[in-house]
Structures are given as structure tokens and as C-alpha cells.
Chain A
Amino acid sequence: MAMAALRREGRRLLLSPITPNPSSAARSAMSISPEQSAPIGLRSISTQVVRNRMKSVKNIQKITKAMKMVAASKLRAVQVRTENSRGLWQPFTALLGDTPSVDVKKNVIVTITSDKGLCGGINSTSVKVSKSLFKVTSGPEKETKYVILGEKGKVQLIRDSKGSIEMTVTELQKNPVNYTQISVLADDILKNVEFDALRIVFNKFHSVVAFIPTVSTVLSPEVVERESEAGGKLGDLDSYEIEGGETKSEVLQNLAEFQFSCVLYNAALENACSELGARMSAMDSSSRNAGEMLDRLTLSYNRTRQASITTELIEIISGASALTG
């Protein structure tokens, strides 16, 4: 390169010690720190820092793009299952009603969050909704407790609501969500936690970019009986004929347990869908930001490189002209 020849000329003219640098490494020689092998008096600006940053930003962009693809492919499968599971709880709501305004003494808030991060803001919104629900349902003679599914919710709620946590469940996402797992979990909750009403907080999946925090209310059998005496939607239960020699309270109990299990299953699936969708959009915006950062870094790298070339040229030429002129 003419540049390299000029530099060699300049070095000879300056009577500097012989540099071992081959000419092919002219560009990299510029970026090596001045102490290493540049001749005395020759300054070069280091572009190493910028180049390292560019490399790491490019890697991050690749990783986030890959994560987005993975989330998109998983989302397709889970979405089908979620839509199918919506049919599980709809008959229950038609029969027993979903009454979020029911006033009971013991509330248990079941918050569904994810174990893994990098999924945008869905876990924080779930926790915010749970906290405000806690405030709404607390009062004199009333008791509210949390049951937390997922690491992220646990971490956030530990900070200020340690005393009201009843149970935490983690490592749920090791296997894909299936009904057996959720029902075993529901069974555990039913056996260990006293409640009059269960409020399940999750993110309902509307579309790939829209996740709505939702609260589903499941009442315990005694409360259902009490409400049915009081009339209203539940009061119509008496007009149904019950077969099989079971009493109404037994049927109600079975139904209430099954309702809890179904609603929890649907909530877990919807939350999983929302998590994948949120991760997709978070990773997408992250790769876009990385791309923009890369553009800015490239510009600054080129500017630095050109500036250092210009500086070297000026020094060489002024040195040469000082000797000859």
C-alpha cells in the first residue's frame, strides 16, 4: 500500500530503530499501543477498545436474534394448547359465575410468574396487580396470603411482603405445562392453604403483543353454598337435578376443586404464552438496539481510524519536510 511505503520512508528518514512490523500489518500496527513496536515519536490512536465493543455487541445481537426465533417457535405450539384449554373453564364460569367482588374473610392470591427472565415486563405487572389486590382485600378481620408460582414473582414479593407468603413453587418450567403437573400443584394448595376465595393472577394472552393481567376468582365450596343460599346466579343451582345419590354440597365441593384445577391450568398456559410473546418482543427490540449501537460504533471506529491515519501522515510528511527543507 502506498501508505505503508510512505511510513517506511518516514521511518528511514527519522533514523528510528528498525521496527519488526511487516507492511501487511500496517493497519494493525496502528492499533497496537505505542509502547509496543512503533518507532519512537510515532503516535497512533488505539482503535482496539472500539473494536472489542463492536465484537461483543455483534455477538449479543446474534444471541438475542436466536432467542427470539426460539421463543417464536415455542409460542406457536403453546398457543394452540392455550386456546384449547379455554374451553375447560368456560362452562364453570357459566355455571358458577366469576365474582371478583365477592367479600370473604380469607383470600389467597395465587400469582403466576415465570422462572426465567428476559421476558419484558409481564412479571412486574403481575406482581403489581397482586399487590394492589392484596391492599383491596385486606381489612379488619380479613386475611390475605400469597401463593407464588415462579422465581421472578418470589424475588419481587420477598422484598416487602415476606410475612404474607404462604407457599412458593419453583422449577415448574422444567417440563412443558401439562394438566397432571398443575393438578398435583392445585391439590397441594388445596390441602395446605385455608381459603375462602382464591384469586389467580396471570397474564392473559390476547395476541403476540398484547398481554392483559387478569384475575380469576375461584370460591371454596362453603362460600359457594353460602352464595347460592343468597340467590343470584348461584341460587339457580337448586333448579338442577342431581343424580347419583350425592348431595348438593358434595357435588359443589367436587366442582369447586375441579374448577380450581382447570382455571389454574388455563392460567398457567396463558401465562406461558404471554411469557413467550413478551420474550419475543423484548429480544426483537434488543437486537434492533444492538444493530443501532453497532452502526454508531462503526461510524466512530471509522472516524478514529481515519483520524489516526491522517495524524500519522501529517507527522511523517512534516518530519520529512523538516529534514529536507
Chain B
Amino acid sequence: MASAAAGAVAGAAAPFWRAAGMTYITYSNICASLLRSCLKEPYKADAASREKVHFAISKWAQGKPEKPVIRSDTPGE
């Protein structure tokens, strides 16, 4: 994948998260959730409500959809 190649090509300067296969977006998301967990109540609950993720993604191959994968913080819904 292009991102891995570019990360490796940059040489030893690749940050650890890039070498581990994360994109910058994942990295900043993890940092953000760490920051959110540093909050006190009630702000913590407000911030947690901004963090909810739920969607169903399905890849297509040759014009046919494959089984959708549900990425959700609330499984079983």
C-alpha cells in the first residue's frame, strides 16, 4: 500500500506508529481519546457522546457486495 511504502522509504525517520501500520488519522484519534479520558465528570460524559462510532461497511468485488462488517462501539445493536 502506498502509505507503507512512503513510510519505509523515508528511512529511519519513520515514526513508530507509521512503522506499525497506522495512519496519521488513527494516531490522532488515539491521542484524542486519551485526552478525552483525562477529563472530569460531567465533561467526560459529554465528550464520550462525541466518540460514538457505528457504521456497516461492505467491500465489493466484481460487482457483488461481500458481507458487511459492522464497526461499532456498541456491538449487538
CA distance A204 to B25 in the complex (A): 24
* A250 touching B54, Cβ below 8 Å: no
CA distance A246 to B68 in the complex (A): 38
CA distance A245 to B12 in the complex (A): 10
- Confirm or deny: A298 has a beta carbon within 8 angstroms of a beta carbon on chain B: no
* B63 touching A163, Cβ below 8 Å: yes
Residue-wise, chain A 246-268 has the 8 Å CB interface mask toward B (1 for contact) of 11011001100110110000000
Q: Which of B34-77 contact A (CB under 8 A)?
A: 50-60, 62-65, 68, 70-71, 77
Total CB contacts across the A-B interface at under 8 A: 112
Chain A residues with CB under 8 Å of B20's CB are none
Which residues on B are within 8 Å of A, measured CB to CB?
1-3, 6-7, 9-11, 13-15, 18, 23-26, 28-29, 32-33, 50-60, 62-65, 68, 70-71, 77
Residue-wise, chain A 177-188 has the 8 Å CB interface mask toward B (1 for contact) of 011110111111
**Interface of A (DSSP majority class):** helix
* B32 touching A180, Cβ below 8 Å: yes
- Confirm or deny: A277 has a beta carbon within 8 angstroms of a beta carbon on chain B: no
Chain B residues with CB under 8 Å of A184's CB are 29, 53, 71
* B56 touching A181, Cβ below 8 Å: no
Sample 9 A-B pairs with CB under 8 A, ordered by A number.
A166-B60, A170-B58, A175-B52, A180-B50, A222-B6, A250-B7, A253-B3, A253-B24, A257-B23
